């Protein structure tokens, strides 16, 4: 007979005692259930929920969920690889108690990201969260470097129930317009309150460019926490909006034409409390290591798009001159190159300097995206890669010859091209490990097949309400 006090196969020491105390506290706070959340390879958020009283059991033994979701597509059909996609087998979801949050946006619920572990208590090679933690730990060990990351969130607010397919913007008025702010005043105020109560430090919220579009940016955290936060913030935006009779789409392209929803990533590398993107001898105060890190990102970006822009709909967004950053170029405060060097304002550079990577959207699994971005940057850093010249203005103005002479490449224009680049990129495949690398390829090919024969409008519609 085992008890909850027996050694835990997949959980962390001390978690059972903690979870026991926590579940009593949560019950006292009116929390009835806990959402256990992760993101699959296709970028779909998947969950199980447990009653609050089962938290200690979940901390001890995990909660069962099939590994088959690693090769689920956005439309819930399944593809397979050599090791994934089988209807057999099971995994255990272990809530990370350090990141458990009472959901203000969903009264009666708490939320926790999970690590996925085998029934034997071993790391599941398909778990993106575990992978990101290892990539970050490895960087700390090998280079003494830690990272700060933040994922911007853009979304479109539509009218009506989640069942209708069409998108009817819930707000009117111009981009960045005061009218929209007023129209969504109650909902956004409640959102701010919910996020604050959930410990999310919001930097800004504003009406964005596209129809019904808003954007929120939040403070930077270590990469695993930043990815968790991205999932939590979206859950909260959706929940608060729904309470106001609104539905939201984080899809890369709500419509085939026009500006889409990005999920720009802000990333900075630090050593012993010092920001490597500030106070250095390189351009705009970058250290040599930060320049090489940026060069690594640029070099791997064509392949990275298979992870950071993983949906057929991502390529409706990734178009020139729409601030999505579709060229392998960098510049200070540029909005059309893939990598924007942000120096921060004078007086705040040491805290604020970072790199913004733009060809990322919210169909991306944030754990895999951050893991691959860090791996790509570190590849540049390790090889002391040279950062090319800065590009100012919109690279779309270059003819083919000038672009080639400046080393500027257009990023993949389709998911097929992105997969081809990814297949060739041994570094990224190794960073993900064979199981996840194969899953990425199989799932992307599955998505491509799922939209074969559809026109752009149909592709946008197919993914409009998936993310
Ligand atoms: N403010 C912005 O940078 C807009 C970003 C743009 N919506 C994108 O798709 O990336």
In terms of domains, do 213 and 77 share one? no
pTM, two decimal places: 0.96
In terms of domains, do 163 and 265 share one? yes
In terms of domains, do 108 and 143 share one? no
Pocket test of ligand 1: the residue of 152, 155, 209, 315 to mutate, having most ligand atoms within 8 Å of its CB, is: 209
Residue nearest to atom 2 of ligand 1 (CA): 323
Residue nearest to atom 4 of ligand 1 (CA): 323
Distant-in-sequence, close-in-space partners of 353: CB < 8 Å, separation ≥ 6: 268, 275, 277, 278, 284, 285, 286, 342, 343, 344
**Domain termination site, one of 64, 99, 124:** 124
Burial of 271 (0-12, 13-18, 19+ CB in 10 A): middle
Domain count, the chain: 2
In terms of domains, do 77 and 53 share one? yes
In terms of domains, do 142 and 112 share one? no
Q: Rounded to the nearest whole angstrom, what is the distance from the C-alpha of residue 348 to the centroid of ligand 1?
A: 24
Q: Report how far residue 252's alpha carbon sits from residue 156's, in angstroms, rounded to the nearest whole number.
A: 10
Dihedral angle, C-alpha 128, 131, 136, 137, nearest 10 ° = 150
* Any ligand 1 atom below 6 A from CB of 324: yes
Instruction: Read off the pLDDT of residues 257-315 as tens digits, 9 standing for 90 and up.
Output: 999 999 999 999 999 999 999 999 999 999 999 999 999 999 999 999 999 999 999 99
At 194, is the pLDDT very low, low, confident or very high (cuts 50, 70, 90)?
Answer: very high
In terms of domains, do 41 and 93 share one? yes
* Any ligand 1 atom below 6 A from CB of 425: no
Sign of CA dihedral 301, 303, 307, 311: positive
At 86, is the pLDDT very low, low, confident or very high (cuts 50, 70, 90)?
Answer: confident
- Please state which of the ranges 188-202, 335-349, 439-453 shows the lowest mean pLDDT: 335-349
CA angle 196, 199, 205 (to 5 degrees): 45
In terms of domains, do 273 and 223 share one? yes
**Domain termination site, one of 124, 145, 163:** 124
Q: Which atom of ligand 1 is nearest to the CA of 317?
A: 9
In terms of domains, do 302 and 407 share one? yes
pLDDT value, residue 2: 45
Average pLDDT, the chain: 94
CATH number, domain with residue 383: 3.30.590.10
Q: Which atom of ligand 1 is nearest to the CA of 252?
A: 9
Instruction: Read off the pLDDT of residues 351-366 as tens digits, 9 standing for 90 and up.
Output: 999 999 999 999 999 9
In terms of domains, do 92 and 172 share one? no
Q: Rounded to the nearest whole angstrom, what is the distance from the C-alpha of residue 309 to the centroid of ligand 1?
A: 14
* Any ligand 1 atom below 6 A from CB of 319: no
Pocket test of ligand 1: the residue of 323, 342, 356, 359 to mutate, having most ligand atoms within 8 Å of its CB, is: 323
Domain assignment present for 8: no
State which residues form the domain around 338.
137-463
Domain assignment present for 255: yes
CATH number, domain with residue 66: 3.10.20.70
**Domain termination site, one of 98, 124, 150:** 124
Residue nearest to atom 3 of ligand 1 (CA): 323
Mean local confidence (pLDDT), 443-466: 96
Q: Is the pLDDT of residue 7 over 90?
A: no
* Any ligand 1 atom below 6 A from CB of 444: no
Q: Is the pLDDT of residue 162 over 80?
A: no
In terms of domains, do 208 and 308 share one? yes
**What's the complex ipTM?**
0.97
Pocket test of ligand 1: the residue of 177, 208, 326 to mutate, having most ligand atoms within 8 Å of its CB, is: 208
Q: Which atom of ligand 1 is nearest to the CA of 335?
A: 3
């Amino acid at each position: 007979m085992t008890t909850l006090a027996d050694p835990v196969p997949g959980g962390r020491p001390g978690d059972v005692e903690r979870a026991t105390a926590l579940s009593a506290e949560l019950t006292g706070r009116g929390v009835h259930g806990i959402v256990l959340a992760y993101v699959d390879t296709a970028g779909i958020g998947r969950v199980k929920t447990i009653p609050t009283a089962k938290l200690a059991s979940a901390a001890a033994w995990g909660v069962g969920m099939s590994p088959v979701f690693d090769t689920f597509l956005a439309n819930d059909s399944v593809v397979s690889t050599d090791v994934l996609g089988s209807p057999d087998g099971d995994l255990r979801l272990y809530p990370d108690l350090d990141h458990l949050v009472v959901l203000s946006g969903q009264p009666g619920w708490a939320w926790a990201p999970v690590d996925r572990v085998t029934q034997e208590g071993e790391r599941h090679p398909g778990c993106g969260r575990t992978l990101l933690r290892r990539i970050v730990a490895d960087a700390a060990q090998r280079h003494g470097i830690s990272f700060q990351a933040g994922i911007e969130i853009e979304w479109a607010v539509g009218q009506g129930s989640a069942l209708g397919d069409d998108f009817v913007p819930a707000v009117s008025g111009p981009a960045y317009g005061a009218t929209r702010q007023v129209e969504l005043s109650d909902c956004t105020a409640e959102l701010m309150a919910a996020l604050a109560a959930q410990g999310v430090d919001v930097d800004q919220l504003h009406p964005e460019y596209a129809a019904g579009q808003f954007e929120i940016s939040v403070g930077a955290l270590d990469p695993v926490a930043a990815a968790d936060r991205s999932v939590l913030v979206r859950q909260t935006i959706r929940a608060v909006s729904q309470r106001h009779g609104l539905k939201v789409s984080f899809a890369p392209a709500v419509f085939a034409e026009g500006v889409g929803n990005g999920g720009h990533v802000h990333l900075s590398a630090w050593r012993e409390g010092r920001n490597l993107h500030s106070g250095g001898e390189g351009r705009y105060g970058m250290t040599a290591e930060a320049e090489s890190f940026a060069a690594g990102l640029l070099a791997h970006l064509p392949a990275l798009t298979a992870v950071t822009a993983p949906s057929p709909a991502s390529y409706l967004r990734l178009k020139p001159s729409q601030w999505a950053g579709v060229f392998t170029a960098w510049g200070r405060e540029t909005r059309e190159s893939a990598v924007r060097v942000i120096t921060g304002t004078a007086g705040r550079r040491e805290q604020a300097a970072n790199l913004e990577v733009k060809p990322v959207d919210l169909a991306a699994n944030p754990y895999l995206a951050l893991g691959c971005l860090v791996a790509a940057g570190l590849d540049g850093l390790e090889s002391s890669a040279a950062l090319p010249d800065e590009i100012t203005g919109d690279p779309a103005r270059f003819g083919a010859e000038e672009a080639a002479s400046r080393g500027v490449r257009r990023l993949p224009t389709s998911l097929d091209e992105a997969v081809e680049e990814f297949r060739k990129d041994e570094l990224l495949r190794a960073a993900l490990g064979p199981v996840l690398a194969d899953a990425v390829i199989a799932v992307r090919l599955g998505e491509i097949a799922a939209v074969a024969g559809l026109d752009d409008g149909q592709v946008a519609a197919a993914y409009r309400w998936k993310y």
